[in-house]
Amino acid sequence: MNDNYKEILDKLENKASLKQAIYRSTAEVFGQTKAILSKIAAKLYQDYTIKDPSVEVSYKEINQFESHLKFSGDLLMISMHSNVFNFDDGHSIFQTAYVKADRSLSYCGVIYVHNFLADSIKYNRLADEGSLVARILVNKEKHFLVEGEGSLGFLYEDFAANVITEEILADILERSILSCLNEDLLLPPFAQIKDVTLHQKQSLITASGYPTGKRLGYLFSSELQQNNI
């Protein structure tokens, strides 16, 4: 065996197998997340929709990587990325004793929580914009971080102490739903939309209305570097 081939075997052992283990951990957590979101939908239907049938609440699993919770005019979309990521070298996570003890603990799978308008999905309005409410970063030990707006931006920052539980996942999802409900659609300035060509208007009709979206403007403190599994 030459040196290059030995290095390939070492990389497979140290990285490829690690990433597969993280993928399995993240997939398991995502399965829990989908189950909890389904339970939340059933509870909301029982506690509220039966009282007011005009407010639709429903859960739908799109595929193994995506599920939706529709509540009135909003839609909470949870999705799992199929790849594993690491943080930028300058990220503060590398200063923690937890990661210093084992550098492989910094590698994470990612679960995204997005907010879209329900009509964007219903009418397939591809130009509509959604917003990233939060993202959940899960490592091989099922320790996690959450990046998000409001309380989701600071409640779950302790990577070493945070371990996934059903109670924590339910809390993250409920706070995400509240974030969606707290943001209203705002009319754009009249002057911004008063001029339109006939072609644009016909295109809008074809797309079932004006492009619309909830621009929550969330900014996250860290960007992840992608590593293919």
pLDDT digits (tens, 9 = 90+) for 21-39: 999 999 999 999 999 999 9
Local confidence band at 225 (pLDDT 50, 70, 90 cut-offs): very low
Q: Kindly state the average pLDDT of the residues 1-10.
A: 88
pLDDT digits (tens, 9 = 90+) for 150-208: 899 999 999 999 999 999 999 999 999 999 998 877 666 777 767 777 776 666 655 55
Whole-model pTM: value is 0.83
- Strand ranges for the chain from DSSP E: 57-63, 66-71, 74-87, 108-117, 131-138, 144-148, 224-227
* C-alpha dist (Å) from residue 73 to 120, 123, 148, 149, 204: 10, 13, 22, 21, 20
Please tell me the least confidently modeled range out of 84-93, 118-127, 132-141.
Answer: 118-127
Q: Kindly state the average pLDDT of the residues 115-132.
A: 82
Give me the residues paired with residue 74 across strands: 71, 117
Which pLDDT does position 223 carry in this prediction?
A: 36
Between CA 140 and CA 108, with CA 76 as vertex, the angle to 5 degrees is: 15
Tell me what the pLDDT averaged over the chain comes to. 86
Portion of the chain with pLDDT greater than 70, in percent:
83
pLDDT at 74 over 60: yes
Which pLDDT does position 155 carry in this prediction?
A: 94
| DSSP state at residue 183 | -
Which pLDDT does position 195 carry in this prediction?
A: 74
